[in-house]
Amino acid sequence: MAEAGKAPVLSATPTVLAAWFCPFAQRTLIAFHAKAKPAADFTIHEITHDDLYSKPAWFTDLNPAGLIPVIAWNPQAAAAAAAAAATGDTAAGDSAAAAVVPAAVCCAVPAAVCCAVPGAVSIKESLVCNDYIEDAYPEPPLLPADAVGRAAARLLIQRFGDKFVPSFYKLLVTQDAAGQAAAAAVLESELAWLMQHMDAARPFALSGQLSLVDCAVVPFLLRLHIVEHYRGFQGHKQRGVAERLQRYLQAAEQHPAVAASMYHPQGLDYKQQLLLSYARYADGSANSLMAREAKAKK
């Protein structure tokens, strides 16, 4: 893991800008960890709270919005690695030759993934990052083989992002009791809907294997203790939800990809530190994009 607070040095190997406390970044870390190595090797560049609020120039060069996750690499380094491997010039491409060349590297980088770092590719937005990972590194697959199954997966992911995630943040940032009750009701309803639309017989959302649905929803379900602590939320303990949710999270936390994403840079208790990191949401002082959007939403 690269040192936090400093600009990453981009190479042919993808770098994920992430933060241990961010559920959106955790989505992409789970997806990357789930892919076969060494094909899907990557490095993590830890973003600090200060980086997210002060947005240093090196950060906004990679993503002008100053948000995470970001997957970034240098295709020129990838091309050099490939050329060195082809010619056997180990002196020219010692470290580069050992690096993985990401899929679909080409001479002209599409404008949507260009950034201010010369020669670099920068992919933003957690679900787009995960789609890229699935396309670039097909093994093991994180979507069903059939088109209908993939459509079902995408519908689950979309509804979760449209309904559950905003309600989670709305419940945290809302300071009045009536607003909290309204947000809690939506969150409880969406949690019940999700549990009802998961595979009832097998441990994960779609089957016995981790999928992009799990990558998208698990980081937020791992944070339900936060809304319980700060807002007294009990929706995850309701009949018809609690048993399935418990089985689901037990399977998720035991999966190596999820376990690898649950870390604290100083080795402190992960869930306890998550709780502390959301205190600013609960007291209304958080100024992140999600906090601002949740406060503005009626």
Query: Can you list the domains of the chain with their CATH numbers?
Result: 15-136 (no CATH), 147-296 (1.20.1050.10)
Instruction: State mean pLDDT over 52-62.
Output: 94
- Could you tell me whether strands 43-46 and 70-73 are parallel, antiparallel, or unpaired per DSSP bridges? unpaired
Q: Are 10 and 77 contacting, i.e. CB atoms less than 8 angstroms apart?
A: yes
Instruction: State mean pLDDT over 135-147.
Output: 97
Instruction: State mean pLDDT over 49-57.
Output: 92
Q: Are 209 and 253 contacting, i.e. CB atoms less than 8 angstroms apart?
A: no
Q: What single letter denotes the amino acid at residue 96? A: A
At residue 1, the pLDDT reads 60
* Among 61-65, 100-104, 135-139, 256-260, the least confident range: 100-104
- Residue 103, φ and ψ in degrees, nearest 5: -65, 150
Tokens of 134: 């699935």
Q: By three-state DSSP, how is residue 116 classified? A: coil
At residue 75, the pLDDT reads 85
The total of other beta-carbon atoms located within 10 Å of residue 30's CB is 27
CA distance 200 to 253: 18
Q: In sequence order, which residues have a C-beta less than 8 Å from that of residue 152 and are 6 or more positions away?
A: 144, 206
Instruction: State mean pLDDT over 211-235.
Output: 98
Confidence of residue 179 (pLDDT cuts 50, 70, 90): very high
Confidence of residue 293 (pLDDT cuts 50, 70, 90): very high
- Could you tell me whether strands 43-46 and 15-18 are parallel, antiparallel, or unpaired per DSSP bridges? parallel
